[in-house]
């Protein structure tokens, strides 16, 4: 039996889980707080390009490695009138954003965001308003964005200076419609009807779309499970994905439970898969519904940063949800990425919420600098290195007790291997608050594989943060590995995220 401070694992690509979808490394831009205005868009900023987009932010987005970006919400989308955001900017109306008690000036809309996607090198994932709009509005938006026929909507896009269709493939059928906070909230039966009608109509325009039905906003919802069953029983043949959303935060100083947040995400994903497969089995269908974890992150919802304006105050781009992330938060984000990769046979899309300023890996001050928060680093490393197939590590690890999750493995991890490039990586989290753990990994199933680099994100103070004044306070640093034949030994400090880069000589 393993020593309490030793964990052992093996990487065997013959036991691969599934190919790693690039869409797992998605992000999210919502018209919320400063994500858009003074986030990605600030015409008066010294770095702004000819369209008003901050090029310093664009550079960090490319470095982050985001592959797909969900837009325009989020809660915002359930009250959004997309026509307000097209055409001459000077003629666009300002509207009340009821979701976040803000003023939406509509300076950035459909065409601007799609132009930004091209510059950022990301694929758009579009959410339609099923809260206060409906089927025809969704069809008109789809025709505006993707239409090639001489229709009113496609001609409007052309007259707005965009001759060619954008070809957006992935569409979300509303947002968090199970939540009573959502404008136009529906029960499961009503949403199922709205979603299946929208899906059928949109597929009449383009049968090759990839459609995402709203799943539960969290396992805490009283309708969880029944919601997915009801929705999928109506929509199973019309949609490709069911979504889930999940956020985590440290509660009452319980660091041990917080560091093990991925245990909860594992259970949530597996419950949704079971529910979807139950519906498929009842229908005698060979089709498998994929999972889109299109909102996930660390979010301290009880903090003052998350308090929305009220009364007569309707500001444009207020400072909302601007959590400042620390080392522990980054380790949790790393653990959540491990969870997504371990389920990549069914999780083929995921969006960290959000991209800039709002519970975000990137912060940007108006007129000032942009910098990387601690959570930027595990995402960027995984997006760059997790290629090919995901491979379980089969870790034999010690356990420790947590108040929220019971006994959990002290080390969690997953590997990837790309045969085409003869390279791979192992991603490891030490989720104990105070125990150093030595890890031994057997590479015998990959003849010739060697360690190229070890990277470690940790600090003696798990609450240390980056800031505009000290943006490099927490960054990945080089670590050490000892190689003995096929065995690799690395030491994981408490509260740490470790990446081992592997490769064969070309």
Q: Which residues are catalytic?
A: 176, 295
Q: Using an 8 Å Cβ cutoff, are 109 and 91 in contact? A: no
Neighbours of 164 (CB within 10 A): 8
Residue 457's H or E segment, with its range, is: strand 450-457
CA dist., res. 124 & res. 113, Å (int): 9
**In 33-171, alpha helices (H):** 55-64, 110-120, 135-146, 152-159
CA dist., res. 335 & res. 261, Å (int): 8
CA dist., res. 130 & res. 377, Å (int): 35
CA dist., res. 175 & res. 33, Å (int): 18
139: its two tokens: 């069809």
Q: Which residue carries 């979808």 as its tokens?
A: 21
CA dist., res. 342 & res. 494, Å (int): 22
- For residue 267, the SS3 value is helix
Identify the bridge partners of residue 390 per DSSP, sorted by sequence position. Answer: 18, 416
CA dist., res. 396 & res. 418, Å (int): 24
Shortest CA distance to 61 belongs to which of 287, 361, 337?
A: 361
β-pairing, 6-10 vs 437-442, is: parallel
Contacts of 501 (CB under 8 A, 6+ apart): 385, 423, 424, 425, 451, 452, 453, 454, 455
Shortest CA distance to 462 belongs to which of 487, 430, 440, 437?
A: 430
Q: Which residue carries 């600090």 as its tokens?
A: 459
What angle do helix axes 226-235 and 261-282 make, rounded to 10 degrees?
Answer: 40
Burial group, residue 149, by CB count within 10 angstroms (0-12, 13-18, 19+): exposed
Query: What separation, in Å, do the N-terminal and C-terminal C-alpha atoms of the chain show?
Result: 38
β-pairing, 18-19 vs 389-391, is: antiparallel
How many residues are present in the chain? Answer: 506
């Amino acid at each position: 039996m393993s020593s309490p401070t030793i964990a052992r694992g093996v990487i065997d690509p013959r036991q691969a889980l599934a190919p790693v979808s690039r869409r797992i490394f998605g992000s999210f831009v919502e018209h919320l707080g400063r994500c858009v205005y003074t986030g990605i868009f600030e015409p008066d900023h010294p770095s702004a390009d000819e369209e008003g987009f901050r090029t310093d932010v664009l550079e960090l987005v490319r470095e982050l490695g985001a592959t797909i970006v969900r837009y325009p919400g989020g809660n915002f989308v359930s009250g959004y009138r997309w026509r307000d955001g097209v055409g001459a900017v000077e003629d666009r109306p300002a509207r009340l954003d009821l979701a976040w008690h803000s003023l939406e000036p509509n300076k950035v809309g459909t065409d601007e965001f799609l132009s930004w996607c091209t510059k950022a090198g990301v694929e758009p994932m579009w959410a339609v308003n099923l809260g206060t709009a409906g089927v025809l509005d969704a069809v008109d938006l789809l025709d505006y964005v993707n239409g090639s026929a001489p229709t009113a909507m496609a001609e409007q896009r052309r007259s707005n200076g965009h001759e060619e269709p954008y070809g957006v493939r992935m569409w979300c059928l509303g947002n968090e419609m199970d939540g009573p906070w959502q404008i136009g909230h529906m029960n499961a039966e009503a949403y199922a009807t709205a979603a299946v009608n929208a899906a059928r109509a949109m597929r009449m325009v383009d049968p090759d779309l990839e459609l995402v039905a709203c799943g539960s906003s969290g396992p805490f919802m009283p309708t969880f499970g029944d919601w997915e069953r009801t929705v999928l029983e109506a929509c199973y043949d019309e949609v490709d994905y069911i979504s889930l959303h999940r956020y985590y935060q440290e509660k009452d100083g319980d660091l041990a439970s917080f560091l093990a947040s991925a245990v909860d995400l594992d259970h949530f994903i597996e419950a949704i898969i079971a529910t979807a497969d139950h519906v498929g089995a009842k229908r005698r269908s060979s089709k498998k519904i994929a999972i889109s974890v299109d909102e996930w992150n660390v979010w301290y919802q009880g903090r003052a940063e998350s308090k929305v304006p009220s009364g007569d105050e309707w500001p444009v781009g207020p400072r909302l949800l601007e959590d400042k992330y620390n080392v522990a938060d980054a380790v949790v984000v790393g653990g959540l990425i491990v969870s997504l990769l371990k389920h990549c046979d069914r999780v083929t899309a995921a969006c960290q919420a959000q991209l800039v300023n709002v519970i975000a890996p990137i912060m940007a001050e108006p007129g000032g600098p942009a910098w990387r928060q601690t959570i930027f680093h595990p995402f960027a490393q995984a997006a760059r290195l997790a290629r090919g197939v995901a491979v379980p590590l089969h870790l034999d690890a010690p356990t420790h007790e947590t108040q929220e999750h019971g006994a959990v493995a002290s080390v969690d991890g997953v590997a990837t291997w790309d045969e085409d490039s003869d390279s791979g990586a192992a991603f490891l989290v030490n989720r104990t608050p105070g125990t150093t753990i030595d890890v031994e990994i057997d590479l015998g199933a990959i003849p010739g594989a060697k360690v190229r680099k070890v990277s470690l994100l940790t600090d003696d103070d798990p609450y240390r943060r980056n800031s505009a004044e000290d943006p490099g306070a927490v960054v990945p640093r080089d670590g050490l590995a000892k190689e003995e034949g096929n065995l690799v030994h690395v030491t994981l400090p408490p509260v740490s995220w470790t990446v081992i880069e592997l490769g064969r000589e070309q």
